[in-house]
Every structure is written in structure tokens, then in C-alpha cells.
Amino acid sequence: MNLKTVLTAETINLHLKGSTKNEIINELLDMLAAAGKIPDRQAALGAVMERENKMSTGMKHGSASPHGKSDTIQDLVACVGIAETPVEFDSLDHEPCRIFIMTLSPLEKTGPHLQFLAEISLLFKSAEKRQEILTAETPESIIKILAE
């Protein structure tokens, strides 16, 4: 999975304003909808929230990967958001999050979805990468960091 093929400058927001899990998820979905990546925002919200209600997608080290699967999605889509202030996200380490990578994928295609989540998990283990993401000044620099 090459993150550069999935992310574009318009699917990256370095200044998320939300202060709650729901606000962050909605900001990320708004970004995907504005970029024309999701045909049915309501279905996408339902898929992400269904997954979130099963178990929080807050990981460790201030990062979260809200995701879902929907029959309205044709190919894996993703976006990245950086919150200006840490947001409580029911993370595994009980720490608030600032880095969010959302992905949505088709119901019948499991491989790309799992590969994407595995790559994101590996990236977030690196304190150096997390710091680079938090201090990035442009969407293009985020893409470069994630693709290295």
C-alpha cells in the first residue's frame, strides 16, 4: 500500500478544530466529502461509528485511526487530520490524541484495508515520525513523511 496514492493535499487538514471524538470524526468525514471521496456521507458516518462503538480506534502515542467499511465505498479512501489541541479518544494508553488517520473501504475488499491499518500502526510507533507529523507545515510534507 502506497500512502501517496491514497492521500492528497485536499485530504489532509493540519488544523482540526474539534474538541470531542464525534467532532473530530465529523471534521474528517467533511474533508473526505468535500474532496469527492465518499458518495454517501451518512453511510460513511454510520460505518465509522459502528466500528468505534465496538472498540475505540484510539491507539497509543496520541494517535487514532477511525475507520469503517461501507458498500457505498468503491476503493479505499483516507484522510489525515492534526488536532490543534489534544482530544480524548478512549485510547489504549488513555492519552488524548492529536494525530488522526481515517480510512473507509469497501465491504468486500479486506486486504487493502488491513494493509493500510498495519502500515499506519507501524508509522505511529516511531516517536520521530509522530513528531515530524505534528510539526509539519504543509499537507505535502505530511504525504512525504508518511510515504518515507
Q: Give me the pLDDT at residue 120, please.
A: 76
C-beta separation of 3 from 22 below 8 A: no
pLDDT band at residue 147 under the 50/70/90 scheme: confident
Only one residue has cell 513523511, namely 145
In terms of Cβ atoms closer than 10 Å to its own Cβ (0-12, 13-18, 19+), residue 71 is: exposed
**Cβ–Cβ contacts within 10 Å for residue 62, how many?**
22
Q: How far apart are CA 89 and CA 147, in angstroms?
A: 25
Please, which pLDDT band fits residue 39 given cuts at 50, 70 and 90? very high
3-state DSSP helix/strand/coil percent for the chain, to nearest 5?
Answer: 45, 20, 30
Residues found in the chain: 148
- The candidate with the shortest Cα–Cα distance to 85, out of 16, 31, 11, is 16
Q: What are phi and psi of 13, to 5 degrees?
A: -125, 115
Q: How far apart are CA 123 and CA 90, in angstroms?
A: 20
For residue 2, what pLDDT is reported? 60
| Per-residue pLDDT tens over the stretch 61-120 | 899 999 999 999 998 999 999 999 999 999 989 999 999 999 999 988 767 767 777 777
Percent of the chain with pLDDT over 90: 68
**How far does Cα 122 stand from its chain's mean position?**
14
Alpha carbon of residue 99 to chain centroid: 8
Q: Which is more confident, 80 or 122?
A: 80
Q: Could you tell me the pTM of the whole model? A: 0.91
Which domains does the chain possess?
3-147 (3.40.930.10)
